[in-house]
Amino acid sequence: MIFAAAAAVAVVQATNSDTPPNPPTEEAAALAVGQSGQAQQAAQPIAQSADADAEQPLQPEQQEQTPAQPMDAPDSAEPSDADEPQQSEAVAPVSSSQPPATPEDEQQDPLQGFIVPIAGAHVTEYEGHLPNATRTYRNDGIHEGFDFYEWAARVTIDYNTEILAAKSGVVIRADLDYVDITPADWARFESFWEDGFESDQQAEDVLDELRGRQVWIDHGRGVVTRYAHLSAIAEGIAVGVEVQQGQVIGYPGESGQEEVYDPDKNDIHLHFEIRIGDGWLGQGETPLTARALYLHAFGITED
C-alpha cells in the first residue's frame, strides 16, 4: 500500500502546509479592491456558445488519439472538417514564437495548443486529481476537471501563484463580486448529499457553488476552459475581455470549499477544466486516459 501511504502523507501535507496563514477571504478582499464596482455577470450557458460556434460537434469519446507527436510541424495541421474531426494530428507548439490561437483560428485542432495554467506545474498522475475520479459527495460522483495542488504539481501553489490563460480566448465568466461560502452553506450542501437533490438543476447549482470563484474563457468551437476555487481574479479580467495565452487571469485559493472559513486548514489548489460543449475533455474515460488527453491538449509527451 505504498500508494495509499503516499496519498495519506500527501493529504497531511496539503492540509498542514506552510503556506501563508492569512485567510483567503482577506486577501481576496484586498485584491478585489477596484473590481467591486463592476457588476458580476451571469455566466453564459456553455450550450449557447457551443451551438453558436461549433460547426463540427466535438465528441470527447472520439478524442482518443495517438500519442502527441514531436512539436516540430506547426504548419502541417490541416483544418478539420465535419466529417473527419480527428484528422489533424500535429501538435501545436507551446513556445512563445507561435502566435497565440484565437477563437477564429480554424486551422488548429480546438483540443490542442493549450498550456498548463500554472507555469512549470507537473501534470499529476495522482488519480484523485484527475478528470473522472470519483467524488463520493457529488451528485454524480465524478470529478470533471484537473486539480493542481502544490505537492502534486511540484511547484509553489499559493495565493500569489499566477494562473495563466491556457489558450487565447474571450472571458465569458468572471466572478468579480463573489462572496465566500459560510458554514451554513456547507451544512446546506451536506443536507443535499445526505438526502439527495430535488432536481438535476439544483445539483448543478451546488456543484457550481463548490467551484467557488471562477473564470471561464471561451476558445471558440464549443471549447471553454474553467478555472475554479480562485482566491482572486486578476486586474482587468472581466466578461467580454479578450485574453492572450499565458496572460494572468487569477490566483489559486480554496473558494467554494469548507476550508475557506477554517483558518486551521487549507485546500489551496486550482481546479481546471477543458469543457467541450456540455461535457468535459476525457468524459467517459478512465482518469488516466483523461489525463493522456490533457497531456495531448498541452502538447506534452511522456515516455
C-alpha cell at 291: 489525463
Stretch that binds Zn ion, among 5-13, 31-39, 139-147, 281-289 (CB under 5 A): 139-147
- 153: helix, strand or coil: helix
Q: How far is the CB of 146 from Zn ion (least distance, A)?
A: 7
Residues 225-264, mask of contacts with Zn ion (x by CB under 5 A)? ----------------------------------------
The residue sitting closest to Zn ion, measured at its beta carbon, is 271
Measured N-to-C along each axis, helices 200-210 and 183-195 cross at an angle, to the nearest 10 degrees, of: 140
Task: Indicate whether 219 belongs to the interface with Zn ion (CB under 5 A).
Answer: no
Stretch that binds Zn ion, among 24-32, 36-44, 141-149, 276-284 (CB under 5 A): 141-149
Count of residues interacting with Zn ion (CB under 5 A): 2
Task: Indicate whether 147 belongs to the interface with Zn ion (CB under 5 A).
Answer: yes
Distance CA 189, CA 137 (A): 9
Could you tell me if 185 and 255 are in contact, meaning their C-beta atoms sit under 8 angstroms apart?
no
C-alpha cell at 213: 470563484
Sign of the C-alpha dihedral, residues 283, 171, 236, 97? positive
Task: Indicate whether 267 belongs to the interface with Zn ion (CB under 5 A).
Answer: no
Interacting residues with Zn ion between 270 and 299 (CB under 5 A): 271
Q: How far is the CB of 156 from Zn ion (least distance, A)?
A: 19
Distance CA 235, CA 218 (A): 19
Nearer residue to Zn ion within complex by CB, 146 or 298: 146
Nearer residue to Zn ion within complex by CB, 147 or 185: 147
Interacting residues with Zn ion between 48 and 77 (CB under 5 A): none
Q: How far is the CB of 60 from Zn ion (least distance, A)?
A: 18
Distance CA 66, CA 183 (A): 46
Which residue has cell 468535459? 280
Q: How far is the CB of 143 from Zn ion (least distance, A)?
A: 6
Radius of gyration of the chain (CA): 19
- CA nearest to 31, candidates 249, 231, 248: 231
Cα 57 from chain centroid?
Answer: 21
Could you tell me if 189 and 208 are in contact, meaning their C-beta atoms sit under 8 angstroms apart?
no
Stretch that binds Zn ion, among 145-153, 175-183, 236-244, 285-293 (CB under 5 A): 145-153
Residues 97-136, mask of contacts with Zn ion (x by CB under 5 A)? ----------------------------------------
- CA nearest to 53, candidates 113, 131, 106: 106
Interaction site with Zn ion (CB under 5 A): 147, 271
